[in-house]
Homo-oligomer: A and B are copies of this chain.
Amino acid sequence: MTIAKAVVEFIGTFFLIFTVGMTVKTPDAAALAPLAIGSALMVMVYAGGHFSGGHYNPAVTLGVTLRGKCTWGDAIAYWIAQFAAAAAAAGAVLFIKGTGTPAPGPAAAGTTYNVAAWFLGEFLFTFALVYVVLNAATAKGTEGNSFYGLAIGFTVVVGAFAIGPVSGGAFNPAVGLGAFLMGLADPTHLIVYLLADFAGGAVAALLFLALNMGGDRP
């Protein structure tokens, strides 16, 4: 059962990161990449959420596990599947687009943001993403809703529009690894993605529990 769920995590993470690569990496980067990427997450959450939870993001898996809706055993299997999917998606993108194209810089020409701004942006929107996931998919107050995929996917749309020019906009350590393997991010960015994104997810889960947003306590 854990294996079947990990396969679903692999599929969803693969399509998320494959879409990142196909819409951000030149040639043929898309002006609406944030919409495409967030929508990729949305449709995969709607497809696989009922089966694996539809995390597709190691920081989400951390948050959901801290909140008590995923076992640590499943979490380890999910992390392996998610990072493996990042490598597979990077391979597929490089097969289609080739390796020779230079990566676009994450910030507009002539503008630079410092590493504290990267960290803050990544932390804030990964916090927002896990906060939305926990409320839309694990709280008593929203049980049986049909909006969870829309809410989760469009948090990434918003974050990518808002923070994309600053840090690249990963909000997901597996996306960070995939971007690194595709030549879209340098090692410093990868370290920020790992540290800030796991931290944002953990803080969101702890706040969710402290406020009793899940409705677990009377």
Contacts and interface: CB of A to CB of B under 8 A. Distances in A.
A8 B211 contact: yes
B36 A161 contact: yes
A120 interface: yes
A133 B141 CA distance: 18
Interface residues of A, number: 68
B30 A131 contact: no
Give the number of copies in the complex.
4
Interface of A: prevailing SS: helix
A56 to B, nearest CB: 13
A188 interface: no
Contacts of A151: 42-43, 46-47, 149
B96 A117 contact: yes
A34 B161 CA distance: 11
Interface string A109-137: 01101000100110010001001100110
Given A111-B27, A141-B50, A166-B96, A124 B18 contact: yes
A132 B46 contact: yes
